Chain A
Amino acid sequence: MTRSAGAVGWSQTATAWAFLAPALFFYCVFLVYPMMESLWISLFKWDGMAATKVFVGLDNYRRVFFEDEVAQRALWNNLVWTLAALVFPTALGLALAMALDTKIKGVVVFRTIFYGPGVLPLVAVGLIWAWMYNPHFGAVNTVLKLMDMRHLTRGWLSRYETAFWATFITYLWSHVGFPMVLYLAGLQAIPKELYEAAEMDGAGAWKRFVHVTLPGLKEAHVIVLSLAVIHALKVFDLIYTMTYGGPGQSTQVLGTWMYFQSFQYYNAGYGAAIAWVISAIILVIAIPYIRHQTKA
C-alpha cells in the first residue's frame, strides 16, 4: 500500500507537532502568558493585591523615562554596568583563555579555579562579598591593613563613590569564567598552521593576536558579547544582596527598582512597566544573537 506525498507530509507535520506540543504548552503557560499578563498590567495603576485596577495607558512608561529620577539613575547605572561588563569580564576572560590554552601541568586545575565562581549562586556570592567588604572585620580591609595600606581602607559599599564599582568587581569575579571557557573552546578550534604561517611571515606576537587569534574567535565573540550584555542588563542579585540599592539610591539598577516598585511599594503596574523596559532593551540585543545562533 502506498500513500500520497501529501499524506506523508501531513503525517510528519503531525508527528512534529506531537513532539513539540508539550514543550509549547509549558512555554506558553509559564512564559508567554505571564509576559502578556505583565504587559497588560503595565497599563494600569494597581497595587498588586486589590481587586480594582485603574487604566492609565502608557503613563507608567512616561514616568520611567521622564519623571522618576531613580528609574533614570537606574537606567544609567545599567548602561554603565553593561559597558563595563562588555569590556572587563570579556577581556579578562580572553586573557585567561590564552594563558590557559597550553598543555602545561595543572592547567585543568586553573581552569576549574577560574570557572568555579561562575557556578555559585549569585545571592551567595553577594552575601560572601558583602562580608568581605565589611568596613570593620571584612577581608578586604583586613588584608589592606596587613599590607600596611591602612590609608586605602574604607567602607567600600557604604560610600557613594565606591559602592557601585565594588559591587561590579564582585560581578567581574563571578562572570569571568564563562567567557574564558567559550574563548578557550574558540582558541582550540583555530588551526595551528595559521600561527605557523604567520610566524614564518615575520608576524610578532601582537600581530598574530590581531590577525589570527581575534578573527579566529569571531563566532565566540558574538556569543560572549551578546550574553555579556544580556547578563549585565539582568543584574539584580548582587545589587540586592550587597547594597540593597544604596547608599541612598546610588546603586539602583532597573532590575532592583522594578522589584522595589512591584513588591515593596505596591506599584505592580509601574513595576511591570519597568520590567518591560528591561525586556525591550534585552530583546533588541537578543534578537540578532538568536538569529545568528539559529543560522549557525
Chain B
Amino acid sequence: MRIFGWIVAAAAGALALAAAPAEAQTKLRFFTNFDASAVRIWQPILDAYEKANPNVKVTMETVAGSGAAIYPDVLRTSMAAGDPPDVFFMWGGEIAGPFIDAGQVMDLGAIYDKHGWKQRMTPWTVDAITRNGKIWGVPFNARGMGFFYRKDIFAKHKISEPKSYAELEQVCETLKKNNVYCASFGGKFGWHPMRLLDYFIETACGPDMHNKLNRLEASWDSACAVDAYGRLKKWVDRGWLVPDFLSVTPADARMPVYLGDAAMIIEGDWFEFVVRGDKQSSANLDFFLPPTGHQPLRYSAFPHQWMIPAKAKNPEASAHFIDFITSPGLQKQFPAAFLASATVGIEPDCKEWPITCKWRQIITTSRDIYPPTDQAFTKELMDGFFEVQSGIIAGKIAPADGGKQMQAKAEAWKATKK
C-alpha cells in the first residue's frame, strides 16, 4: 500500500512538472494569407521569436489563393465564433472597414505611442490605414502597382515605355499587329481587371474626380466615368486583351505573359517574387507606372497591415509580437520576408531583387497614390462595380449604361446604409 502511495505521489509530481511550463506558455495564433513559399520564408522568423521569447508559442494559420475574396470571410467566421486569432493580416480601406466598424479590432493608438511605431513606418502607410481618426493596425507592407512588361517583346517590336495614354494605345496596337496581346487579365474575382479600369478612371477623370467617385461624392454617370468604361470596352473590342478572361483566375492570367502570348500585366511590387516562385525568369521583366497625363502622376498603392482583435486573449503579447516583426533589426536579418516592408530604412538587396528595389524607391518617396477601388468600396458595392465591369467586358452593357447602372448601385447602397 505504501508503494502504491509513492507511485501515485510520483505520478502526480511528474504531471505537475509537465503541466507547469504548458500553463505558463502563451500561445499566439498568427493568421495570414501567406502562400506556401511565404510560409517557408516566415517560419524561421517565428522560430526566432520563440527563441527570443521561450514562453511564447506562435502558430501560423493561413488562407491563401484568392486575394481578398475569401480570406476576410474566414477571419470574420472566427471572430463571429468568438475565437479570433491573436494577430492577423489585413488590407486597408474598406476590406478592413467592416471589422473596425463592428468593433472587432483593437484601437492601437496608445500602443503606437508606447512602441514609437509612427516614426518607424513609411508615412503614407499610416495615413492609409487610419479610419475615423484612429489607427487600427500596424503597416506591414507598402504595395504599389503598375504595368509589368516583357522586355524581349518590347525590344523585338521596337517599343519603348509609353509616356502618355495615347502612346500606351499605340503600344497595344503595335503588339496586336504583331499577333501579341497587349495585356493579360484574370477576371474571375473581378479585382484583376479592376486595376485596368481604375487606371482608366484616373486617366479620364483626374485625381480629384477619381477621389470623389471613390467616396461616392460624384456621379458614376458623369462623362469621365463613362469615358473610362468606354476605354475598357475599346481595349476588349480591339483585341488588345487576351480574350475570354472573365472566368480566368488572376494567377492563371500570368500564363500568357510567361508564354510570350501577351506582353503586359498589371501587377504589384510583389511580382518579381511571384515570378520566381512560378519558376520563371524575372530578368526579362520590367515595369512602368501607368501614364495618366495628370499631375501629380498617381499610381495605385495600398498598405498591408497587422491587426489585433478587440477580443484578443493576450493583447500585450500580440503587440509585442508585432513590434518584433516590424522592427528594423529583425527585418534586416530576414530580408526575403520584407521585400515590401513599410518599415523605414528596410531595402531589399538591389542586386538580387532589382525590380523590387526599383519599386521601393518609388513607394517610399512618393505619396501620390490612389487606392484600388476594392479598398475604397465595401464588398457589397464592389460586387456591383464588378457586375458592371463584367458587363462592359462581355459587351452586355454599353459604357453609357454602365455609368448609369453603377450610379444606381451606388445610390441603392447608400440608401441601405441610412
Given A48-B76, A50-B102, A265-B380, do A246 and B247 touch, yes or no (CB 8 Å)? Answer: yes
Is B383 in the interface zone, CB < 8 Å from A? yes
> What distance in Å separates the Cβ of A73 from its nearest Cβ neighbour in chain B?
11
Number of chain A residues whose Cβ lies closer than 8 Å to a Cβ of chain B: 32
Residue pair B244, A160 in contact (C-beta under 8 Å)? no
Is A216 in the interface zone, CB < 8 Å from B? no
Which A residue sits closest to B184, measured CB to CB?
Answer: A136
Taken together as a complex, chains A and B put the C-alpha atoms of A246 and B76 apart, in Å, by 23
Is A248 in the interface zone, CB < 8 Å from B? yes
Residue pair B390, A137 in contact (C-beta under 8 Å)? no
Which B residue sits closest to A47, measured CB to CB?
Answer: B102
Residue pair A155, B244 in contact (C-beta under 8 Å)? yes
Residue pair A135, B244 in contact (C-beta under 8 Å)? yes
Residue pair B104, A49 in contact (C-beta under 8 Å)? yes
Is A26 in the interface zone, CB < 8 Å from B? no
Residue pair B244, A265 in contact (C-beta under 8 Å)? no
The stretch that binds A, out of B22-30, B197-205, B248-256, B275-283, is: B248-256
Given A158-B187, A265-B378, do A48 and B80 touch, yes or no (CB 8 Å)? Answer: yes
Is A258 in the interface zone, CB < 8 Å from B? no
> What distance in Å separates the Cβ of A285 from its nearest Cβ neighbour in chain B?
29
Is B160 in the interface zone, CB < 8 Å from A? no
Taken together as a complex, chains A and B put the C-alpha atoms of A266 and B80 apart, in Å, by 11
Taken together as a complex, chains A and B put the C-alpha atoms of A47 and B244 apart, in Å, by 35
Residue pair A137, B379 in contact (C-beta under 8 Å)? no
Question: Would you give the 0/1 interface string for A240-252, flagging 1 where the beta carbon is closer than 8 Å to chain B?
Answer: 0011101111000
Taken together as a complex, chains A and B put the C-alpha atoms of A51 and B187 apart, in Å, by 36
Chain B residues near A49 (CB, 8 Å)?
76, 79-80, 98-99, 102-104
Residue pair B247, A247 in contact (C-beta under 8 Å)? yes
Question: Would you give the 0/1 interface string for B147-190, flagging 1 where the beta carbon is closer than 8 Å to chain A?
Answer: 00000000000000000000000000000000000000001111
Is A163 in the interface zone, CB < 8 Å from B? yes
Is B394 in the interface zone, CB < 8 Å from A? yes
Is B243 in the interface zone, CB < 8 Å from A? yes
Is B317 in the interface zone, CB < 8 Å from A? no
Residue pair B380, A134 in contact (C-beta under 8 Å)? no
Residue pair A51, B248 in contact (C-beta under 8 Å)? no
Is A81 in the interface zone, CB < 8 Å from B? no
**A263 contacts which of B73, B101, B383 (Cβ < 8 Å)?**
B73
Residue pair B391, A248 in contact (C-beta under 8 Å)? yes
> What distance in Å separates the Cβ of A190 from its nearest Cβ neighbour in chain B?
45
Residue pair B246, A246 in contact (C-beta under 8 Å)? yes
Taken together as a complex, chains A and B put the C-alpha atoms of A246 and B248 apart, in Å, by 11
Is B387 in the interface zone, CB < 8 Å from A? yes
**B77 contacts which of A51, A263, A267 (Cβ < 8 Å)?**
A263
Chain A residues near B73 (CB, 8 Å)?
263-264
Is A145 in the interface zone, CB < 8 Å from B? no
Is B332 in the interface zone, CB < 8 Å from A? no
Taken together as a complex, chains A and B put the C-alpha atoms of A82 and B28 apart, in Å, by 46
Chain A residues near B104 (CB, 8 Å)?
49
Taken together as a complex, chains A and B put the C-alpha atoms of A137 and B187 apart, in Å, by 16
Residue pair B247, A267 in contact (C-beta under 8 Å)? no
Residue pair A50, B245 in contact (C-beta under 8 Å)? no
Q: Which of A139-173 contact B (CB under 8 A)?
A: 154-160, 163
Residue pair B80, A264 in contact (C-beta under 8 Å)? no
**A243 contacts which of B69, B247, B261 (Cβ < 8 Å)?**
B247
Given contacts A49-B80, A154-B244, 8 further A-B pairs with CB under 8 A are A47-B102, A136-B261, A158-B248, A244-B188, A246-B188, A247-B246, A264-B380, A266-B378
The 6 closest A-B pairs by CB, nearest first: A155-B244, A157-B247, A49-B102, A265-B380, A135-B244, A158-B246
Interface residues of A (CB under 8 A from B): 47-51, 130, 133-137, 154-160, 163, 242-244, 246-249, 260, 263-267
